[in-house]
Structure 1
Amino acid sequence: MTIGLRRRLATRGATLPGPDAGEAAARAPRVGNLALFGGLALLTAVVVLLDLRTGEDLSLVPLLVVVPALVSVFGTVRQTVGVSTLIMIVVVGSHLMTDGTFWDIATGVVFTVLACLLGIAACALRIRHATQIARLRSAAVALQRQILRPLPILTDQILAHGIYTPIEEDRLVGGDIYEVVQSPYGTRVIIGDVQGKGLAAIGAGFAVLGAFREAAIREPVLTGVVDALEDAVARHNTFSAQTGETERFVTALVLGFDGSDRVQAVNCGHLPPRLLHDGVAGAVALRRTSVPLGMAELSHEARATERLDFPPGATLLLFTDGVTEARDASGAFYPLDARLGRWAERAPYEVLEALDADLDSFSGGVRRDDIAALALRRVAAGDPGRPMTVGHGARRAAEAFSGR
């Protein structure tokens, strides 16, 4: 099974999460009950012993009322209630055993109860907020996954494997996009990255994908496809300005495959691809890089097509900046070109498997941005099982063709 198929089980098989998904994540206790209450018992014993030693000159037991507030920051409601109950028993008991006046004792008891109740209320509000955020993140990621097509994809010209890992933290998900379309003019491919993150970035990415799927089939030349994408981003930005949203731009690399040894490319501010062939991996020189989509009015030069070598047996690797900007614990960037040289003789799906595993190891499992990568290889004419259309049959043929 290829990495793209495994990703499909995790991404495309996902549906919008139910109401319990985010709640379960938010309510999961971060500290075990044994560790929590064991530590509380030890702390209480120490404070009581110190209180006995200091005598009536300095009463330390009432200071335990801050413990429920601390537990409410990281514990569950049940844990906070348990801690608050124990603290109330100890502190209230301490007040009742003193020789103070009735009003002193009553004030201390009331203050202790209120402090514990406030800790419980704060914990409940924190978990409620965390549940809402978790649900929103899950819904945003599920939406993004439904927008993007499953991989691998087999067309008349190429076989496309890929990996896609959305980030679900901080400011929600990012805006990485990709698409492969079979057209009357060959196969058109796009990989891009929307500026910013969150639902607004997903909206801009959807606008680009929708325009690409239509223009890739309609436009006979690749620059016509890119012009349609530019118009789509401009329209989206106009609507965003009217609704108070931030205008965005999109870096994109658009490729056209017509079955020859050359690939048409229009680069709109995106990272250059890498070519793996004959045991060597290197960056593909793009000499006509233009401004990102949505910024054409800032440039006086029209976007132009250039041709890149793509010999048989070579793998063309496209990726977003989530790959090159991944960092290790020291803050160093991921050395993509140095690592690709080790995998230059591997099959496309093997390159992606190695890349995904190496990124995870390099970053210590901490991903700061979406990661999208496509590994493209030419399909020679006359290959058995080559489909004429892209669909479920094409994917089955892709699995057979890849040998996995």
Structure 2
Amino acid sequence: MSVAAYLMLLFLFVVDVVADRSVPGAVALGVVPPLFAALCTVAATVRLATAATALAAVLILHFEHTTPAAKAIHLGVVVGLGAVGVWGSATRARHSAQLGKARSATLILQRAVLEPIPAELPGYEVSALYLPADTDAKVGGDMFAVVRSRHGMRVLMGDVRGKGIGAITTAATLMACFREAAHYEPSLPGLAARLEERIAQLDEDRAGPADERFATAVLFAFDEPRHLRMLSCGHTPPVHLRGGRAVELELPVNAPPLGTAGLYDDIEYAEYRVSYVPGDVLVVVTDGVTEARDPAGGFYPFGERLARWAHHGSQRIAHELITDVTIHTGGRMSDDAAVLVVRRALHDPGDPGDSGDSGDSLTKAA
């Protein structure tokens, strides 16, 4: 951009000399620094303003046939415009630095909330990724947690309404409640009830804006040899991968989002049993993935793309999915996105063998 700016200065200088020396065209040189201030660094803008002033001085002193007062005014205008350009460039650089610090702080906070997945999960390969939209340094309340409890592995994926500190605070509170309750509640309805009670308590404490105190969530229990159990509270349906096929697990009974129990007379927390054998993959995401759009407005084909990577490991699937979504949107995500992939080991020592259940069954748990 600096080269283009200097070429423009040279062009204006030559035009002024060749076209009509009596016209005070030197003032036009002063427009160049403000014009390129948004594209150049502060130092480059200073050099550009200096060059514009020097060329304008040559034109004014040697080619303009005006009074000394008029020449002084013309030169002053060029100097003033150069100063405006430098000020604009410095302001932009300062705001960019402040925004960068704010983004770094919120991302650090988000990563602190999303604790690492346990290293040892026998029989399972689990990977998770979080991709912030990074709009105005506001990070959303996407959340996931994996707990290895005495009842078996428990998994939570959720999305708190809103963005910023209020959403992150609510997400952190829910995840802390989940990590503790998972060790004491053997059933998913019991876990969901505890999370609802905690978010209601958070509402009573009035911590954060009221419109950021409800969240969609989906809970999973991995404690049976050839099945998993799941319960959804208004969350995006997960996808089950088996044999190159992607099946969306849309539950017959879907509880309302956490934090909205007060709006209903009665809530049924129904958990369902899903066939889950060695080699199967469960992919859970937030709506930042399913509602991602390309520049033309087309939604991301979630299930269709997942089938391509059904035979890969969990980490590869998570990375491929996040990369593909970024490409689909042209790098302009409108919402944060979280991805969690759970792959059942092909050779699970805890698997008793073929029990005759090899279909994509979905039955209500007792």
What TM-score, normalized to structure 2? 0.85
Task: Give CA-to-partner distance per residue, 1:297-331, whole Å, 9 cap, x none.
Answer: 12233131222213312212111112212223322
What residue in structure 2 maps to residue 24 of structure 1?
Answer: none
**What's the secondary structure of 1:218's corresponding residue?**
coil
- For residues 381 and 112 of structure 1, the distance between their equivalents in structure 2, rounded to whole angstroms, comes to 76
Residues 288 and 79 from structure 1, CA distance in 2 versus in 1: closer, same or farther, beyond 3 angstroms? same
Shift of 1:378: 4.0
* Displacement over 6 Å in runs of 4+: none
Listed as ranges, the matches of 1:34-73 within 5 Å are 36=2, 38-55=3-20, 58-73=23-38
1:230 aligns with 2:204: no
Offset at residue 245 of structure 1 (A): 6.9
Choose the corresponding residue for 2:53, options 73, 88, 91: 88
Match of 2:134 in 1: 168
Gaps of 5+ in 1: 1-30, 385-404
CA contact (8 A) 1:352 1:375 kept: yes
1:244 and 1:359 map into 2 onto residues whose CA distance is 30
Q: Note closer, same or farther for the CA distance 1:271–1:158 as it changes in structure 2 (3 Å cut).
A: same
* 1:71-110 deviations in Å (ceiling 9; x for gaps): 2212111001000000111223323332322322222222
Q: 1:179 to 1:153 in 2, by over 3 A?
A: farther
Residues 1:306 and 2:306 aligned together: no
Work out the number of aligned pairs and report it: 348
CA distance in 1, matches of 2:254, 2:20: 78
- The percent identity for this pair of structures is 33
| Residues 1:146 and 2:91 aligned together | no
Aligned ranges for residues 5-404 of structure 1 at < 5 Å?
31=1, 36=2, 38-55=3-20, 58-97=23-62, 98-151=64-117, 153-155=119-121, 158-240=124-206, 246-313=211-278, 314-378=280-344, 382=349
Contact 1:157 1:259 in 2 (8 A): no
- Name structure 2 gaps, 5 residues minimum: 352-366
Structure whose residues are more often helix by fraction = 1
The worse-fitting range, judged by mean Cα deviation, of 271-280 and 81-90 is 271-280
Tell me how far 1:57 sits from its aligned partner: 6.1
- Aligned-pair CA distance for 1:239: 4.6
Instruction: State which drifts further: 303-312 or 345-354.
Output: 345-354
> CA separation of 1:247/1:329 partners in 2, compared to 1, >3 Å: closer, same or farther?
closer
Quote the RMSD (CA, aligned, Å).
2.6
Q: Deviation of residue 264 (structure 1)?
A: 2.7
Give secondary structure in 2 for the equivalent of 1:175: strand
Query: Is the contact between residue 292 and residue 333 of structure 2 (CA under 8 Å) also seen in structure 1?
Result: yes
The Cα offsets for residues 18-59 of structure 1, whole Å up to 9 and x where unpaired, read as xxxxxxxxxxxxx4xxxx1x3233222322333235436643
Distance 1:48 1:352 in 2: 56
Change (3 A) 1:240 1:128: farther
Cα distance, 1:216 vs structure 2: 1.5
Offset at residue 191 of structure 1 (A): 0.4
Deviation sequence 1:142-196 (CA, Å, 0-9, x none): 2211221224654367442223323334453222110011223222210011222
Which residue identity lines up with residue 110 of structure 2 in the other structure?
A: Q
Residue aligned with 2:273, SS:
strand
Q: Which SS does the other structure have where 2:115 is aligned?
A: coil
2:221 alignment partner, SS class: strand
Per-residue deviation, residues 183-231 of structure 1 (Å, max 9, x unmatched): 2322221001122222332222111111111222233432222122223
